[in-house]
Structure 1
Amino acid sequence: MARGLDHLVVAVNDLERAAAAYAALGFTVTPENRHPWGTANRLVQLDGFFIELLSVADPELIDEPAEGIFSFGAFNRDFLKKREGASMLVLESEDPESDRSDFLNADLEVFAPFSFERTANLADGTTAQVAFDLTFLKDPLAPEIGFFTCRNRYPEHFWKAAFQAHENGARSVAAVSLLAEDPAGHRAFLSGFTGVSETRETHLGLELETPRGMVAVYNPAAYRTVFGNEAADSLQGEIPQIAALQIACPGLEEKKVVPASALFGLTLVLSPVE
């Protein structure tokens, strides 16, 4: 079963500054929420996809990883010791057990199941309980990127029309772009992860069209061709990495590229929709 893009985790040192930067670009940003393991987030909700701006709020609450057990908090804490930026790529899930079976059948490295609940702070000042089931897995060729699927158990409490209305017209995710020296080398993992068997390999790299948005992998030269010199020159950290996010904005007159150097390590592309 093919899985669409669910969200992107963007690790930042200063959550309020990051939220203000996204708001200045015309996005509606949710109030702050807290995880029980010491991280905090603010979200940008689109049509079935969201950006999770994430910071470490209480390091003492973070659990360390163990054999076969993934620690979301520790992974992002350690990511932030190196740089800010998109730390994790997340796909939607309808059935965590089915996801796990698919991943194991594809010979992917899977961690122990993980579920949690938290309180969501809503725009009107009220709260609601939300809960998620996560299936973490690892691409040995991309150790700096976290991957997991996410089943939202109470979508009616999570998705809110007020959070999905943006001044810049942002509506939906178009693509997430990864950067790697050898894009084709990530085909097996990404095909198993997304459930998309048909991939496109071009002179620019690798593309997988999911039910919600595309996953693309470019080499450095192709990335410069696609996103321009300013975006390429602003890249930080080791590769492979999640380098860019493209969002479809109906009504936008021309494409806007915000380089990683101006937006906490992630290049953001706002694209018109014909």
Structure 2
Amino acid sequence: MPATAQPLILDHAVIGVHDKLDTAADIYRKLGFALTPRGYHTLGSINHLAIFRDNYLELLGFPSEGEKKRADLWSYPSGLNGLALRTSDAAALQRELASAGKPVTDWKDFSRPVEVDGVQKPASFRTFQIGAEVVSNGRFFFCQHNTPELVWRAADQDHPNGALNISDVFIVSRTPQTIIELLDGFPSATPEATDAGITIPAGTAVLHILSEESANSRFGSAIPQSFDGNERKVALGLTVRSLEVAADALARGGFLSRPFEGGLLVDAEAANGVALWFKE
């Protein structure tokens, strides 16, 4: 029985950078992403975003000086450590998932100021986490955008590397059933077993759950090679306007990409702990 009528949609992918946001932002600009100005959350974290058509990438850190208010986040390894799934009503979805027996936290509200035509406006959000006690090396959470017009702005979506959307998320898991059970109950999000692992559709993106053997066979040394716990998020697929445009942007930034499954792959070591697969 479905747990909710709300769809399962990838909203954004979080790359944790701890107190190295300046360094990470420089890397991602050189990778060809147009980043938004630094954001300052009311919860204490700071970020830059790469906004795409249907989702976005977030570089999330904390100030190098002062109190670290988000202690729960800073315990995760740097790299791809958060997946935000979209909800139109976080409070209602939290109640539905709790009633279905899924482990969810209380929801919380926060915001960050955004400057629009010289005027400061609050971009506000409501989020809650699922599986906090069973997911390793990061988190799955649901995000309600109260002011999506302050996030998806056309001026922020023109990337020198031609990036259009996050199309794939790759998760190496020793207990894939844990993730399947957490995300079970959403319409049109039925897990499918493939030769490479398990896939779960999430809007315009696909979540790929791979065994360590399958991930290493497919990506080799391009992804993080060891981790504690049950799973780790290791790679993102990004659709681009043109591989030629992406290749030119990467070369200008000084990155060595290599051919990979019809696209281009940048190793995790060069991209702050997450492998990036550019594809048309």
Q: Quick check: TM above 0.5?
A: yes
Match among 3, 7, 10 for residue 15 of structure 2: 10
Q: Give SS of 2:160's match.
A: coil
In the TM superposition, residue 48 of structure 1 has moved relative to its aligned partner by: 2.3
Aligned to 2:257: none
Match of 1:100 among 94, 99, 104: 94
2:167 maps to 1:162: no
> Structure 1 residue 255 and structure 2 residue 255: aligned?
no
Deviation at 1:59, TM superposition (A): 4.8
CA contact (8 A) 1:174 1:246 kept: yes
| Cα 1:121/1:61, change in 2 over 3 Å | farther
Q: For residues 189 and 201 of structure 2, what CA distance do their matches in structure 1 show?
A: 10
- After TM superposition, the runs of 4+ consecutive aligned structure 1 residues lying more than 2 A away are 124-128, 182-186, 194-197, 234-239
Q: Indicate the residue corresponding to 2:58 in structure 1.
A: 52
Task: Give deviations 1:207-255, integer Å, cap 9, x for gaps.
Answer: 10122311111011111233x22314x4353240111111111221461
* Structure 2 length-normalised TM: 0.84
- Structure 2's unaligned 5+ residue stretches are 1-5, 245-261
Deviations 1:34-86 (A, max 9, x none): 11232110111111211110111155251xxxxxxxxxx1222222xxx3112
Matched with 2:75 is 78
Query: What are the ranges of 5 or more consecutive residues in structure 1 without an aligned counterpart?
Result: 63-72
> Aligned equivalents of 2:98 and 2:38: distance in 1?
35
Q: Percent identity?
A: 25
Which of 130, 152, 157 aligns to 2:123? It is: 130
Any idea what SS the aligned residue of 1:104 has? helix
Q: TM-score, normalised by structure 1?
A: 0.85
Matches within 5 A, 1:1-274: 1-12=6-17, 13-57=19-63, 59-60=66-67, 62=69, 73-79=70-76, 83-121=77-115, 126-192=119-185, 196-226=188-218, 228-232=219-223, 234-238=224-228, 239-253=230-244, 255-272=263-280
Distance 1:101 1:195 in 2: 17
SS in 2 for 1:167: coil
Change (3 A) 1:262 1:185: same
Give the letter for the 1:2 counterpart.
P
User: Cα 1:125–1:237, aligned 2, differ >3 Å: closer, same or farther?
Assistant: farther
Please give the alpha-carbon distance, in whole angstroms, between the structure 1 residues aligned to 2:155 and 2:81.
27
The total of aligned residue pairs comes to 255
Q: Is the 8 A contact 2:80 2:234 kept in 1?
A: yes
